[in-house]
Structure 1
C-alpha cells in the first residue's frame, strides 16, 4: 500500500465514502428493479395498503402517521419489517406503476436532484415506529402533495450519513489548507506529530467515584484522564468497558470539562446513558446531560433525557405550540380540502406563503430552544452520525469519547472528532469491523500473524508494523481499517490500555480466545470462573450439560450445506438442514433439563440458516433468540448454540475464516457454548480454525451428534 501526506489521506477517505454510498445505492436499485413488491413486503423492505394522516413536528416538518386500516388488514399490528427511525422510505400510492407521470403515482413526485423521484413517490425519513404506527417526516413537502388514500412505503438507500461524513472530512481538509496551525489532536490523528506521553500532575491515587473498578480498569481511567490528545481503551468481551467509560466521564465533569459521548450504535450510547443518569452514592449530584437523536431509537425509560423531551418543557415551548397549531390548521385546509372547500387561486398562493413563513419562524424559535438545552448540558450523547446534526453545530467540547470505535468506519468518527480537543476511543479491534457494501474482500483471512501485526499488537511491549512514517499515512483500499486500528498501528501500544478481567464467561470458554487473541492476558473474574449451567435455578445437574464447551462434529456424515436457489432473493447465503435438526434436538435436551428458553440463544454466520432455524424452532419455542453472528455482537446469554453451516468436499468455508467472526461467536455465552459443524471442512479454513479444532480435540470437547 502506498503512503501519502495527510491531505491525500483525507481525500482518499472521501473517495471511499462515495464508493460505499454508490455500492449501497446500486444494491438498493438492483433489489427494487428485480424484486416484485410482494417479495419486498415479505422481506420487510416494504409495507402496503396503509392509511395516514398529517401533523406538524419538530422544526416545522410535515409528519405523516401511517397505520394498517381494518378494511385491508386483519390485524392492526405490522408484520416483521426493517423500517427503523432514521431510515429513508419512499411513500407512494398503492399500486403505483413506479414511473413518474404514470397513473396512480402520488402527487408531489420529485426529480433526481431532490425535488422529486422518478418513480412518482415522495421520500421521507422514518421518524418513529411502534407496533401499530409508523411516522414519516418530510422537511419541505411540495405544495401540491396530497396524501393518497391507500399508501405503500418502500425502504430506500439513505444518503444522509454519507453526506455528513463527506462534509466533515472536507472540513478537516479546509483546516489543513488554512494558514493557522492544526490543533494538537488533529496533528496526532494525521501522523504529523506523536502523542504526548501521559503524565499525571499528582502522584496521589485517583479519587474514584466507583471504587469497584479492578486494577486494569483503574489504570485505563488514569491513562485516559492524563493523556493530552489521545487514548485508546481496549475492551475485550465482558471486561466492563461501559463501567470504565462512565467513570472517565464523571471524572471529566468533576474537572469542569464538557464531554461529547458517541457510539457506533444507539444501543452503545444508551448503555452509557443508562448508567450515567443514575446518581452514584459518592456522586449524588445529577450530571446535566442531553441525548441527541430520534426519541424512538432511545431505550424506554431514557426518553426524558432526549433533546426533544427537554426542549418540550422549556420556558418557550408554549409559544412553539401556538405556532405549531397555526401551521397544522393552515396545512390541513390546503392539503385536505376538496370540492367547494378547496382553496384556489391567489388565496391559496397567499396561504402557502404564510405556511412557509410560519415554518421558518418555528424553526428559528425551536433552534433557540435546542441551543439553550444543549448549552446547559455537561455531557451530550449521540451516535457518531447524530453528532453531525444541526443541534450541535455551534458547540465544541473538551473531550470526545467514541465507544464501539472498532465497529465504526473512520469517516464516521471524524464527525464528532472535529468538535473536540481530546479524543478517547474504546473498543475491541479483534471483534467484527463495520459492515461494508463496497468491499470485495469480506471473506479474506485475518488469522495469520502477519495480518494481525498490520493492524494491532496485543502485547504492550510489542511494536506494531508501522502504518506510516511521520507525516505520511497509508492509503487503504477500503474502509475496513478503522480509526482505532489505524492509530494503534501508527503510534504503537503506548497509546492503549487493555481491560484484562472479564465478568461474562467461565474459565473454559475464556481459555482459547484469551490464549490466541489476547496473549493470555484476558482472565475470568473469580466470581464467574467456575460458573456452570446447573447453577441456574431449577436446572438439573448433568455432567454433559455442565461441560462449558461442546463441539458436535458432523464430519464424514454427508451433512452438506445447501445454497439458496440461484436467482432467488438471498441466493448468496447458505443453509444446512442437518445442522438445524441437530440444533433443534439439542434445544429439546436443554428444555427437558429445565433450562429456560430465554436463557438460550442460537446464532449462525449465514442468514439463510437463521431463517431455517427460526422456522424450525420458533413454533415450539418462540422465546429463544435466533439471529446472525453479526447481530449478536455485544450480546450475551447463558447458553449459546452456534451453527457453522459450511460442509463440503472442497473445504470452502467462506467468511468463517474471519477470526473476528469466530471470536464474537465463542465469547457470547456465560455458561455453555455449543458449536455444530464439520471439522473436516472448518479445519481447512485458516490457521486460526486449525488451532481451534486442535484445541477442541486436546480438551476432549468433540462429540458425535
Structure 2
C-alpha cells in the first residue's frame, strides 16, 4: 500500500506566481485579476517587481474596460515571464531559475485560458499566443535533459497548479461542502509569523470561492468607494494562497507525497500560424495531450485502495510466458496495440519507477524507438500492451490477459523478473503519436490552404463555392440518377453535393446514409469513367468498422452495375485482411504509390494515414467522403484538408445528436462570430451554417438532412421527430420532415407470441401494441448498480427469447438461435460496467444461453439495430451519478440507445436519477440531457400506467404508450 502522491505540486521553486481571476457572469468577461510574485529579494529588482512583497491588482472600473483590463494583464504577465526567460538564456543551466504559477480553484485556470484565447484575435495576439502555448505545451513540461538519467527522484511539475485540487488529494480537512479559502486557512496549521487573514475581507459568495460580483456591479453603477474594498479582498486572497502553499509543504503527511521539481523556465515562441483557427487547433491539440497525460499520471498516483475501487489500476499476477491473471476480473480492459499501459511490481521501487515515468515527455512514443527510460525505470518498470483477453463466459469479465512489452534494457541490466503469484500493477500510460501529424497538417495548411479549411470553419456558407461537375459527367448523372432509387431527401442531398464544394449530409437514425453514400459514390465514379475523367475517391471515417461497412456496400453497388473495379482498403498488416472479402487490400507503405499511379480509384483509409499522401504531394482527390464526421474532431479533420485543392468535392456525413468525439479539455464556448472548434467537424460546419442563416436567411444551404426513416416504427420515430429531429426540407413534391419511410415501416410491431404461462407483468410490458415502455424504480437503495433492475431486465430478456419471432419464424433452441436473437432480436444497453456485470449474472442465472448475451454500452451499438432494445441505467446513487453527470445525463447516448430499436424500446431507471439534482442545472448540456430523459418519460406516461411491488419499500412504476396506427 502507498499514500497519495502529488505530481503537480513541486517541492520548491525559485519564483512563485500567484493569480486570482474573477469574471462577470452576464458578459463572461474577466473583471478582476490579482498578481503576486514571490521570489528572493535580489531578483525582484531585475524582474521589475516592487521592492516589497505587494500584489498587483487589475480591476475593470466600468463594464467597457474589461477588454482593456485583460490586455493590460496579458502584457504584464508576458513581460514578467519574458524577463525570467531572458535571465535564463544568459545563464548556464545550474544558475537558471524555475517558475511555478498557482491559482486556488479550477475555474480560475479556465478563465485564464479563455482570456488568452480571446487575446489571439486582438493587438496582444503575440503575447497571448506565447502564454497560451507555455501553459499548455508539453514541450515546456518535459524533464530536463541535464538531470542525471539514473536518478529516480528527478521529476517535473506542471505550469499551472490548482491548489484546491492538490489540497483535496493530499489532506483531509474538517470542512463540509465547499473548501472555501478562508475555511482552509482556518483548518491548516499556521506559523506565528504566517499570514493573518480577516474573514470579512474576502467578499465571497456564500459556500463558494467566487468573488461577490454584486460589488463589481455597484462599482460600475458609480460607487467608486468599492475599488479599495475589492482591491483589499483580492490582496487577502493572494496572501492566503501563499499561506496555503507554505502550510501544505510543512505538513509531514504532504512532504512524503511531494516528489517533483519544476523545470528551468523557458517561454516558447509565438504561434507561426497566419489563420487564428489554426492557432486554436494547435492549442487544442496540445491541451488535449496535456490533459490526458496529467489524468494518466494522477490516476497512477492515487492511494492503492482508491485505485482498486475505481478499477483505475488493476492488480495482476504472473501465470506463465506472457500471460497474467487479473486478480479482480473487470470489463474495463481492451486490446491495446499502442502499448498504453505500464506494468510494475507491488514493491516500493516499482511505485517509485511508475511515479517518475513522464507521460508528458513520452506522449508521442509508442514503440521502443525513441522511448526513454532511465536505468532505474528499465529495471522496475515495463511499458506494456494487451495483446489478447480471456473472459469468463458466464459474466463476460476479463480474467486473464496476454501482455507484450517494449523495454529493451542493457544486457547487464535485466528487468525485475515476475514470479508466480506475485502482485503486480497494470496502470494507464498516455500516448498519442497522432498529435504530431496534426501539427504537420496545420503547418502545411498554413502555407497552402487550397481547400480553404480556415475559410470554411469561419463561414461555411460563404466559403463553400459553386463547383459544377464536368459537363459530360453531369449529363450522365442527370440521365441515370432517377433510376438509382433515392428518396426525396437523399435526392436533394445528392444534387447539392453535385453542384457545390462542400455538403453536409445530416443522417438521423435509420435514414439509410450508408446506402445513400454507396449510391452516390458509385454513381459519381461511373459518371467519371463514362466521361473519361480522372476520379480518385477517398473514403475515411472515425472507425475502421465504418470504413469497412461503406466499402462493402460500395463494392456491392459496383458489382450490381457491372463495373469491373474493386474498392480498396488500406491496412497496417495485410495478414489481417478478411478471408473471401470482395475488397482489395493494400499495406500502408503502398498507399502513396497506388494512389498516385491510378486515376480511377476508390480508397478507404483512416484520416491519420493521410499524411502518407501529403508527404508525396499526391494529386488531390476529386471526391472526399467523411463518414461518422460527428465523431471526428476538427484537428483530426485537418489531416484530410491538407490533401485537397480548389476542385475537390467534400461530402461530410454525420449526426451531431449521436455519439460525439471524446474531448477531455475544458474550453470556453465561442464568442460571437467565432468558429466552433471544440466539437466534431460536422458540428463545427453545422454551427457555422446556423450563424450564417441567422445573419442572412438567403445564405447558401450547406446542410441537407435525410428524413425518411427505414428503421423505427411510428411511435419511436414520432418522439425523435418532436424532440430532436425537427428540421424540414423543401423538395419538388413539397416540404417534408423526419418520418417513417413507408406505412409498413410505421406499422411494424414486435412479432412476439408469449408462452401460455407467462407472468402477467411481463406480458403487460412486452405487449407488441405498445412500442415504448418506461420503468421507474422507486425506493431502491443508493448503489452504482441495482439488483431489482437487473432481475427485471433478465426476466424480460428470457421472455422475449421464448416468444420472439423473426421473419415470421420462431428461433431454434440452439447456438445459432441464441446468436440470432442477440444479433437481430434484442440489445441490452447500460452505461455502467457494474450494471452490465449484474445483468449478465442475472441472465445466466435465469436461462442457459448457448450464445453470449449482447449486453454492453451504447458505444458498441451505434450503427446497429434490433427488433427490441432494453436500456438499463442501474445507478441509484445520486451522489455517484453527479460525479459523472456529463456521462450519465448525456442526451446523445440516450438518443442512440432508444433509436436502435425497430419496434420495441423499454427504458429502466431509478427515480432519483429521473428526478435529478439542482446541481445538474449548473451545466447546460447536462441539464439538456436530464430534460430529454424526463420528456421521454412524459411521452410514455401519456399512455397507460401500472405498479408492481418488489418489496415493502421498493416498487416499479410502469408506463407504456400504444403505437400511433
Is the structural similarity TM-score above 0.5?
A: yes
SS at match of 1:587: helix
Name the residue aligned to 1:436.
663
Q: Cα 1:276–1:606, aligned 2, differ >3 Å: closer, same or farther?
A: same
Cα distance per residue 1:48-96 (max 9 Å; x no partner): 63777xxxxxxxxxxxxxx54xxx889xxx9977343543245768778
TM-score by length of 2: 0.52
Instruction: Return the alpha-carbon distance in structure 2 between the equivalents of residues 137 and 580 of structure 1.
Output: 39
Q: Cα 1:188–1:613, aligned 2, differ >3 Å: closer, same or farther?
A: same
CA contact (8 A) 1:561 1:648 kept: yes
Asked if 1:584 corresponds to 2:794, the answer is yes
Asked if 1:87 corresponds to 2:338, the answer is yes
Instruction: Return the alpha-carbon distance in structure 2 between the equivalents of residues 171 and 194 of structure 1.
Output: 19
Instruction: Return the alpha-carbon distance in structure 1 between the equivalents of residues 482 and 585 of structure 2.
Output: 25
Match for residue 607 of structure 1 among 833, 849, 856 = 833
Instruction: Return the alpha-carbon distance in structure 1 between the equivalents of residues 485 and 301 of structure 2.
Output: 56
Please state how far the C-alpha of 1:638 moved relative to its aligned partner: 1.6
Name the residue aligned to 1:528.
745
Cα distance per residue 1:82-131 (max 9 Å; x no partner): 3435432457687787659989x9xxxx98994423532564777x7587
Q: Cα 1:528–1:376, aligned 2, differ >3 Å: closer, same or farther?
A: farther
Cα distance per residue 1:22-49 (max 9 Å; x no partner): 2222222233333769969988978763
Name the residue aligned to 1:16.
284
Cα distance per residue 1:646-671 (max 9 Å; x no partner): 55789987345433222112101122
Instruction: Return the alpha-carbon distance in structure 2 between the equivalents of residues 524 and 623 of structure 1.
Output: 33
Name the residue aligned to 1:49.
318
CA contact (8 A) 2:676 2:684 kept: no
Instruction: Return the alpha-carbon distance in structure 2 between the equivalents of residues 488 and 185 of structure 1.
Output: 15
Please state how far the C-alpha of 1:281 moved relative to its aligned partner: 2.2
Please state how far the C-alpha of 1:504 moved relative to its aligned partner: 1.4
Instruction: Return the alpha-carbon distance in structure 1 between the equivalents of residues 559 and 313 of structure 2.
Output: 43
Please state how far the C-alpha of 1:523 moved relative to its aligned partner: 1.5
SS at match of 2:563: coil
Cα distance per residue 1:296-329 (max 9 Å; x no partner): 8766654963323xx8xxxxxxxxxxxxxxxxxx
Please state how far the C-alpha of 1:391 moved relative to its aligned partner: 9.1
CA contact (8 A) 1:402 1:426 kept: yes
SS at match of 1:489: helix
Instruction: Return the alpha-carbon distance in structure 2 between the equivalents of residues 540 and 205 of structure 1.
Output: 60
CA contact (8 A) 2:752 2:803 kept: no
Name the residue aligned to 1:237.
509
CA contact (8 A) 1:579 1:676 kept: yes
Match for residue 905 of structure 2 among 669, 673, 681 = 673
Instruction: Return the alpha-carbon distance in structure 2 between the equivalents of residues 400 and 174 of structure 1.
Output: 21
TM-score by length of 1: 0.69
Name the residue aligned to 2:550.
272
SS at match of 2:855: strand
Name the residue aligned to 2:465.
196
CA contact (8 A) 1:3 1:468 kept: no
Q: Cα 1:230–1:522, aligned 2, differ >3 Å: closer, same or farther?
A: same
Please state how far the C-alpha of 1:422 moved relative to its aligned partner: 3.0
Please state how far the C-alpha of 1:478 moved relative to its aligned partner: 7.2
Q: Cα 1:394–1:171, aligned 2, differ >3 Å: closer, same or farther?
A: closer
Asked if 1:634 corresponds to 2:884, the answer is no
Question: Which stretches in structure 1 are left out of the alignment for 5+ residues?
Answer: 53-66, 177-181, 312-366, 442-453, 455-465, 563-573
Instruction: Return the alpha-carbon distance in structure 1 between the equivalents of residues 662 and 292 of structure 2.
Output: 11
Instruction: Return the alpha-carbon distance in structure 2 between the equivalents of residues 175 and 679 of structure 1.
Output: 56
CA contact (8 A) 1:538 1:594 kept: no
SS at match of 1:397: coil
Counterpart mapping for 1:310-389 below 5 A: 367=589, 371-376=592-597, 378-389=601-612
Cα distance per residue 1:156-215 (max 9 Å; x no partner): 222113332233233323446xxxxx5455533443943224667658735249723322
Match for residue 426 of structure 1 among 653, 658, 661 = 653
CA contact (8 A) 1:431 1:664 kept: yes
Instruction: Return the alpha-carbon distance in structure 2 between the equivalents of residues 154 and 681 of structure 1.
Output: 31
Instruction: Return the alpha-carbon distance in structure 2 between the equivalents of residues 376 and 35 of structure 1.
Output: 57
CA contact (8 A) 1:551 1:675 kept: yes
Please state how far the C-alpha of 1:234 moved relative to its aligned partner: 0.6
Instruction: Return the alpha-carbon distance in structure 2 between the equivalents of residues 187 and 221 of structure 1.
Output: 23
Please state how far the C-alpha of 1:490 moved relative to its aligned partner: 4.8
Please state how far the C-alpha of 1:517 moved relative to its aligned partner: 1.1
CA contact (8 A) 1:89 1:156 kept: yes
Instruction: Return the alpha-carbon distance in structure 2 between the equivalents of residues 540 and 500 of structure 1.
Output: 42
Please state how far the C-alpha of 1:264 moved relative to its aligned partner: 0.9
CA contact (8 A) 1:46 1:81 kept: no
Higher mean C-alpha displacement, 629-638 vs 533-542: 533-542
Match for residue 635 of structure 2 among 411, 430, 433 = 411
CA contact (8 A) 2:343 2:384 kept: no
Name the residue aligned to 1:363.
none
SS at match of 1:415: helix
Larger Rg: 2
Name the residue aligned to 1:320.
none
Q: Cα 1:605–1:505, aligned 2, differ >3 Å: closer, same or farther?
A: same
Asked if 1:494 corresponds to 2:701, the answer is yes
Q: Cα 1:100–1:93, aligned 2, differ >3 Å: closer, same or farther?
A: closer
Q: CA RMSD in A?
A: 4.6
Q: Cα 1:644–1:403, aligned 2, differ >3 Å: closer, same or farther?
A: same
CA contact (8 A) 1:550 1:701 kept: no
Asked if 1:682 corresponds to 2:914, the answer is yes
Q: Cα 1:281–1:618, aligned 2, differ >3 Å: closer, same or farther?
A: same
Name the residue aligned to 1:549.
771
Cα distance per residue 1:404-439 (max 9 Å; x no partner): 111111111111121123321100011121122224
Q: Cα 1:219–1:692, aligned 2, differ >3 Å: closer, same or farther?
A: same
Question: Which stretches in structure 2 are left out of the alignment for 5+ residues?
Answer: 1-27, 29-117, 122-273, 391-399, 529-533, 694-699, 728-736, 806-817, 917-926, 948-956, 959-965
SS at match of 1:82: coil
Match for residue 251 of structure 1 among 512, 523, 544 = 523
Name the residue aligned to 2:936.
692
Match for residue 658 of structure 1 among 890, 898, 907 = 890
Instruction: Return the alpha-carbon distance in structure 2 between the equivalents of residues 539 and 175 of structure 1.
Output: 71
SS at match of 1:519: coil
Name the residue aligned to 1:517.
724
Q: Cα 1:142–1:216, aligned 2, differ >3 Å: closer, same or farther?
A: farther
Counterpart mapping for 1:139-218 below 5 A: 156-175=429-448, 182-184=450-452, 186-191=454-459, 193-197=462-466, 205-208=478-481, 211-218=484-491
Instruction: Return the alpha-carbon distance in structure 1 between the equivalents of residues 571 and 756 of structure 2.
Output: 43
Higher mean C-alpha displacement, 631-640 vs 86-95: 86-95
Counterpart mapping for 1:440-519 below 5 A: 469=673, 473-474=674-675, 482-492=683-693, 494-519=701-726
Instruction: Return the alpha-carbon distance in structure 2 between the equivalents of residues 381 and 40 of structure 1.
Output: 42
Cα distance per residue 1:359-393 (max 9 Å; x no partner): xxxxxxxx5x5543343551221222333357975
Instruction: Return the alpha-carbon distance in structure 2 between the equivalents of residues 184 and 409 of structure 1.
Output: 17
Asked if 1:558 corresponds to 2:779, the answer is yes
Q: Cα 1:675–1:583, aligned 2, differ >3 Å: closer, same or farther?
A: same
Please state how far the C-alpha of 1:135 moved relative to its aligned partner: 8.8
Instruction: Return the alpha-carbon distance in structure 1 between the equivalents of residues 701 and 946 of structure 2.
Output: 40
Instruction: Return the alpha-carbon distance in structure 1 between the equivalents of residues 347 and 637 of structure 2.
Output: 40
Count of aligned positions: 577
Instruction: Return the alpha-carbon distance in structure 1 between the equivalents of residues 559 and 906 of structure 2.
Output: 39
